[in-house]
Amino acid sequence: MEIYDDVYGFRGNSKGKRLVAFTQKAQPKAIAKTLAGLWEYLQADRPDDATDDNRKKLSAIIERLGGRPLPGAAVVEEPKVTQPLRPAEGILAALESELLALEAMTDRPHERGYAFERFLKRWFDTWGLDARASFRTIGEQIDGSFPHDGTTYLVEAKWHRTQTDATMLHSFQGKIEERTIWSVP
């Protein structure tokens, strides 16, 4: 990988911005190989930061990208929690009522948005997705997240009365493409 190749300059010229651009443009196995190389550099340059926990986390990312796990990063399988196939009808009916009640909040759109985020957390939890409520990072709010099969998925929730137009969807797509593939809260 040549970090100064023009193809990786679309986010800016710093090494960090070029690395993020690389993670958005390169093939998954090339990204995995680069991450493994960065791990080796971390071990040599800052061994105190090269903890077993960090090795396991990075190794899991590398494996998801199709690379070989880092040496010494045996990932311990967490016991599988058996979830019911379908929540009880009473729980689903309560969730449906809660969602329909949001529709009546026409004069309070911000309150409705926050209520919708809380509803989504309960909905994800009901289906066994161990959701995390909304939280703020520097410069943005994440409406929620949930882990599934070793990946954390970020949730962006919008409530609009009318169909979302293409411009808004393209704007949202741009936000998604700005994130690195290993973005987690």
Question: How does pLDDT run across 41-86, given as a tens digit for each residue?
Answer: 989 998 888 888 888 888 888 888 888 888 877 655 555 555 556 7
Whether the pLDDT of residue 22 is over 70: the answer is yes
CA distance 7 to 25: 8
In contact, 101 and 118? CB cutoff 8 Å: no
Q: Which residues contact 26 (CB under 8 A, 6 or more apart)?
A: 1, 34
**Which two tokens mark 112?**
């409705």
**Which two tokens mark 9?**
């300059």
Whether the pLDDT of residue 125 is over 50: the answer is yes
In contact, 113 and 126? CB cutoff 8 Å: no
Whether the pLDDT of residue 184 is over 50: the answer is no
Which residue shows structure tokens 């700005």? 178
pTM of the predicted model as reported, rounded to 2 decimal places: 0.47
Question: How does pLDDT run across 80-121, given as a tens digit for each residue?
Answer: 555 556 788 889 899 999 988 988 887 777 888 888 888 888
